Chain A
Amino acid sequence: MVHTLRQTSGTTLTSRENWGTLFLILPALVFIASWFLIPLGQLFALSLSSEAGPLASYAELIGSSVFRRVFVNTMVLACIVTIICVVLAYPTAYLLTKLRGFWFSVALYCVLVPFWISVLVRTFSWMLLLERNGPINSFLMYSGITTSPINMLFNNFSVYLGMVHVLLPYAIFPMYSSMLRVDNRLLQASEGLGARGTTTFLRVYLPLTMPGVLAGGAFVLLLALGFYITPTLLGGLQNLTAAMLIDNFVNERLVWPLAAAASFILLGLVLGILALASKFLSLGSLVGMR
């Protein structure tokens, strides 16, 4: 599908093909316009509808030191989670490309099955595992590694752990698909020309799989920015994220213009990251195409 589109767009389209293409994408266009663009416009109008003037909500948010800190914290959290995910996902994706048959299925299901389980269920499971008298602490104390239980819950550690667990597959799959497309003959050629393993990896394999790394990283980063359940349940008092602040504006304080403005600031950040990412890779490779 992708290839045929690209081939036809290279040549001049006949008007019949033009109409055909338009007809094919029309349902998607209508859907996106009516269920995404129009509500987004309404949300933007809402963000300007504060009683104190059109830009008052934005001014209140940007002027608040608490809000700025929460946004910085959210960014830092998302960046650290992204780095951990990328570092863990790369060898996992590589392993997936090397396994065959039964072991490939086992490894694939190890990645996929948690992906299919509800985030809420997985978050609660972490709470049970990490608590003071939970199995992990019991084991550590039984085996004599520690004498008193370690605080693993309701702090940065549990938030990172929970988020990495949820987001890891989003990093693995784009990397895996880019690794599958690496032509093995290139690696053989590099070896044949006298390059050592590390050189081949750094100068041939890594650059070829970089689009997958960036795509996976961008996915994880964007999703992590809007995380709500995991930091709420696994985090401590200080793990306040932008999504939790927006929830507070919507459900408790009932200041919807403020919530809308905060959403647009978050959206602006996301678009900024996307723009930056698209400097290094085409948007097509973001969704795993080349």
Chain B
Amino acid sequence: MITRRNVLHAGAVLGAASAFGSAIGKRSWAQGRPFTFCSWGGALSEVEKMAFVDPFAKEKGIEIANVSPTNYAKLKAMVEANAVDWDVVTVGGYFIYTGKDTNLLEPVDYSIVKADHVAPYWRTEYGVYTTTGASVIAYNTDAFPEGSRPESWADFWNVKDFPGPRSLYSRLWYNYEAALRAAGVSKEEIYPATEEKMKLAFAKLKEIKPHVSVWWTAGAQPPQLLSTGEVAMAMAWSGRVAAAIHEGAPVAMTFKDAIAWGNAFVVPKGTPNRDLAMELISYAVSPSSQERLLPVGTYGPILEDVSARATSEQAKFIVTHPDNIKDAVIQNDAEVSAYVIKYEAEWQKFQLG
């Protein structure tokens, strides 16, 4: 029988085998392994490899191993066993704070990481954001043709004027932000997440729950559900919707009311390559590296002045473009990491119905 554990185990065996293979090829590394970059895999890993990792390796004249996927439990195990195999890891933003609280991360050394030009919310004590995306409202274009398209979370909640089954993410984050926007809370007042606002968010979510036919767990689900017509409207990750649009699926999205978030680089505690890891982070947020993200059309830059240079065609898929970010809520990951733990039981109760 296949369980997640078997899959993880098989992955670990494969990983060990490939590490062994590369170790034979390159015996010269001091720590017995190359400098290693770990990310989620798929489109994100490809983008990071192209824009940051490969050019950095070339400039430094070193070889960098790319591995995937990121796994927080594995990271914890590595750090606790003092056998850190990953030097730089891409994580979801809230893990900067979870990782800090559980003592798993090196603080970012801003004497090496040149990030003064980065907006304060994209650089933090224990991690630096390097790419951005958004949780957006996406819809099937047959269900909502030109002229009757949803443009806000209020529209998403309005099942009378925008009929059809919905899909939302299966966790509390994004939903908290979207529900408050639907309830008419202004962008500036979403945070801090107080008891009162959380109550309001849950009340709003209970309201939409009967119309949500799928609570998705994987980013690939919403574009699939939308293009087959399983749901008419969904919360979705912008990069995934962009990919579906490029393939010609009858799907569209809006950055109006988007919840913008970033993928962050962190450094596991105890890596033997700490300084080089910091250099990679610095390299990734430099304007020249960030500019390579413009034509990609899935994950965008963190630097708004770089995003501003995007062509109008490119800007359609970049949340940090000035035309888009002005209508977006920027997710506050410090808040998220606190409220997911505080309201976990509440969310599970909501799940069970």
Q: Shortest Cβ distance from B222 into chain A, in angstroms?
A: 13
Of B1, B71, B228, B341, the residue contacting A223 (CB under 8 A) is B1
Known contacts A131-B230, A132-B230, A251-B72: A154-B214 contact under CB 8 Å: yes
Is B273 among interface residues, defined by CB-CB distance under 8 A? no
Interface residues on B, range: 20 to 34
Select from chain A the residue with minimum beta-carbon distance to B167.
A154
A200 at interface, CB cutoff 8 A: no
Given contacts A119-B1, A229-B3, contact A133 B102 (CB under 8 A): no
Question: How far is B344's CA from A256's CA once the two chains are assembled, in angstroms?
Answer: 16
The answer to whether B21 has its CB under 8 Å from any CB of chain A is: no
Nearest B residue to A118 via CB reads B2
| B81 close to A (CB within 8 Å) | no
Segment at the A interface, from B300-308, B311-319, B345-353: B345-353
Given known contacts A118-B2, A132-B229, A237-B170, is B352 in contact with A252 (CB within 8 Å)?
Answer: no
Q: Is A44 an interface residue (CB 8 A)?
A: no
Report chain A residues within 8 Å CB of B30: none
Candidates A118, A131, A237; contact of B351 at CB < 8 Å:
A237
Bound: A236/B71 CA distance, A: 24
State whether B3 touches A254 (Cβ < 8 A). Answer: no
Cβ-neighbour of B72 out of A70, A243, A252 (below 8 A): A252
A residues near B170, Cβ cutoff 8 Å: 237
- Asked if A253 is an interface residue, CB under 8 A from chain B, the answer is yes
> A226-B3, A254-B76 in contact; A236/B352 too (CB < 8 A)?
no
Q: Is the CB of B215 within 8 A of A66?
A: no
Residues of B within 8 A of A64 (CB): 345
Q: Determine the distance from Cα of A153 to Cα of B353 in the docked complex, in whole angstroms.
A: 18
In the complex, the answer to whether A66 meets B352 with C-beta atoms within 8 Å is yes
On whether the beta carbons of B352 and A70 are closer than 8 Å, the reply is yes
Closest to B348 in A: A66
Taking each of B76, B212, B341, B352, which has the highest tally of chain A beta carbons within 10 Å of its own beta carbon?
B352
In whole angstroms, what is the CA distance A117 to B225 when docked? 25
Given that A70-B352, A236-B215, A253-B341 are known contacts, is A131 also in contact with B228, CB under 8 Å in the complex? yes
Interface check A105, CB cutoff 8 A: no
By the criterion CB–CB under 8 Å, are A132 and B228 in contact? Answer: yes
Residue pairs across A and B with CB atoms within 8 Å: the count is: 67
Q: Inside 8 A of B344's CB, which chain A residues have their CB?
A: 253
Are the C-beta atoms of B229 and A120 separated by less than 8 Å? no
Q: Which residues of A contact B353 (CB under 8 A)?
A: 237-238
Q: A66-B349, A133-B228, A237-B170 are in contact. Are A228 and B215 (CB under 8 A)?
A: no
* A229 engages B4 (CB within 8 Å): yes
Q: For A250, list chain B residues within 8 Å (CB).
A: 73
Interface digits, A241-279 against B, CB 8 Å rule (1 contact, 0 not)?
Answer: 001000100111110100000000000000000000000
A: interface residue count bin? 20 to 34
A228 to B217, CA, bound (A): 13
Contact indicator A254/B73 (Cβ below 8 Å): yes
Cα A131 to Cα B213 with chains together (Å): 11
| Cα-based distance from A73 to B170 in the complex (angstroms) | 19
Q: Which of A133, A237, A251 contacts B71 (CB 8 A)?
A: A251
Judge if A50 is at the interface, Cβ distance under 8 Å. Answer: no
Within 8 A of B (CB), among A113-137: 118-120, 131-133
**What sequence of 0s and 1s flags, for each residue 151-183 of chain A, a beta carbon within 8 Å of any chain B beta carbon?**
101100000000000100000000000000000
CA separation between A120 and B4, bound complex, in Å? 10
When chains A and B are docked, how far (Å) is the Cα of A70 from the Cα of B352?
Answer: 8
Is A190's beta carbon under 8 Å from chain B?
A: no
Known A238-B352, A240-B348, A254-B76; contact A151-B213, beta-carbon cutoff 8 A: yes
Q: Report Cα–Cα, A70/B344, bound state, in Å.
A: 14
How far does the alpha carbon of A79 sit from the alpha carbon of B213 in the complex, in Å?
26
Give the nearest-CB partner of B218 in chain A: A233
Nearest-neighbor residue (CB-CB) of A245 within chain B: B348
Residue numbers in B under 8 Å from A119 (CB-CB):
1-2
A69 at the interface (CB under 8 A from B): yes
Asked if A285 CB lies within 8 Å of chain B CBs, one says no
Residue of B nearest to A127 (CB): B224
Least CB separation from B92: chain A residue: A252
Q: B98 in the interface, Cβ–Cβ < 8 Å?
A: yes
Are the CB atoms of B2 and A229 closer together than 8 Å?
yes
Chain B 77-104, CB-CB to A under 8 Å as 1, else 0, gives 0000000000000000000001000100
Chain B positions within 8 Å of A240 at CB level:
348, 351-352
Per the 8 Å Cβ criterion, residues 1-20 of B in contact with A are 1-4
A236's closest neighbor in chain B, by CB? Answer: B215
The listed residue with most A CB atoms (<10 A of its CB), out of B2, B213, B341, is: B2
Inter-chain contact A254/B98, CB cutoff 8 Å: yes
**What's the Cα separation between A240 and B348 when bound, in Å?**
9
- Of A133, A151, A223, A251, which is in contact with the most chain B CB atoms at under 10 Å from its CB? A251
CA distance A37 to B349 in the complex (A): 36
- Chain B residues, CB < 8 A from A253: 341, 344
Find out whether the CB atom of A66 lies under 8 angstroms from the CB atom of B228: no
A 56-73 binary contact with B (CB < 8 Å = 1; else 0): 000000001110011001
Point out the residues of chain B lying under 8 angstroms from A236, CB to CB. 214-215
CB <8 Å contact, B4 and A247: yes
The 7 closest A-B pairs by CB, nearest first: A237-B215, A66-B348, A119-B2, A132-B230, A251-B73, A237-B351, A238-B353
Q: With A120-B2, A229-B4 given, name 20 new contacts (CB 8 A).
A: A65-B349, A69-B352, A70-B348, A70-B352, A73-B352, A119-B1, A119-B2, A132-B230, A133-B230, A151-B213, A154-B215, A223-B1, A228-B3, A229-B3, A238-B353, A240-B348, A243-B3, A251-B72, A253-B344, A254-B102
Q: Which residues does A use to contact B, with CB under 8 Å?
A: 64-66, 69-70, 73, 118-120, 131-133, 151, 153-154, 166, 223, 226, 228-229, 232-233, 236-238, 240, 243, 247, 250-254, 256
